[in-house]
Amino acid sequence: HLAFYFHSEALQNTMVRYNWAGKLGGSLCLDQPDCFFDYVMPVEANLGINKANYYLKRKIRQKIDITDDFYTHSQLDISWQNTSTKESKTEGTYSNYFRLYLPIGTELLRLVENGREVDFAVVDEAVKPNIKTTDKTDSSKLEIIKTTEAGKVNYGLLIRVSPGETKTYSFYYQKPEKIEFEKNGLYKLLAQKQLGTDNDEYFLEINFPDNLRILRTPSGSVTKNNTVEYKGLLDMDRVFIYSYSKK
């Protein structure tokens, strides 16, 4: 898990070009017509004074539905299992300030915690609200902080996972623009890995509409009718490229 920074602009540009600078990934559709770019990057920060990260098991599941009129409806499920057994300097509650980085303009529509709908309000970072967690039992809405950074939007909230507990959060979101193409098109998804994480299970499902014919899918994926599935690890930045045509 290495990232490089150089004061030399030329050297730093080389690191960026080879994806060694730890930057948020840019579009993969530059100068490509009929190409639709999608992006996701989950980012975590342990705010607890412990080493709970060591005891975490994490699973990521992403589902993308492409509608008949070529809009995308997405769902990202993340499960955290805290296998620690007690509160101590090394073990204990995982106090995770979680941020979900998405393409600019993406709107967060729903949030579900362990099957329970969460009532939330998206607040711009400039307002600087008090961060509340879904552990609260009062009637106030959960405040999710929205930030724009490096051409991405991110939604941030504090998630606590106690010793021996498993929590699953489901984020439902939608990009504002539709997939535009004449006859043949490309869909490119960059699933970016956070520095320091390792071997997280990652499952991706993309459902194409019946009015599209799938022409090419990523290596290692499985196609069933108009559904393409991939199962592996998010142990590196993953790029998924699909090509299709109108029927």
| pLDDT tens, position by position, 151-210 | 999 999 999 999 999 999 999 999 999 999 999 999 999 999 998 888 899 999 999 999
| Mean pLDDT of the residues in the chain | 91
Is-contact 209 187, C-beta < 8 A? Answer: no
DSSP 144-166: EEEEEETTEEEEEEEEEE-TT-E
How distant, in Å, are the alpha carbons of 168, 184, 209, 226, 241 from that of 221?
A: 25, 20, 18, 12, 11
- Report the DSSP beta bridge partners of residue 38: 189
pLDDT at 73 over 90: yes
pLDDT band, very low/low/confident/very high, at 127 (cuts 50, 70, 90):
low
Comparing 16-30, 80-94, 163-177, which segment has the lowest mean pLDDT?
16-30
Q: How far, in Å, CA of 187 to CA of 150, rounded?
A: 22
State the pLDDT at residue 16: 79
Q: Is the pLDDT of residue 81 over 90?
A: yes
| Higher pLDDT pick, 18 / 24 | 24
Write out pLDDT tens, residues 5-15: 889 998 888 88
Q: What pLDDT sits at residue 177?
A: 94
Of all residues in the chain, what percent carry a pLDDT higher than 70? 94
Q: Give the pLDDT confidence score for residue 172 in this predicted structure.
A: 98
Are residues 24 and 152 in contact, defined by beta-carbon separation less than 8 angstroms? yes
User: Does residue 18 surpass a pLDDT of 80?
Assistant: no
More reliable by pLDDT, 90 or 59: 59
Record the pTM. 0.91
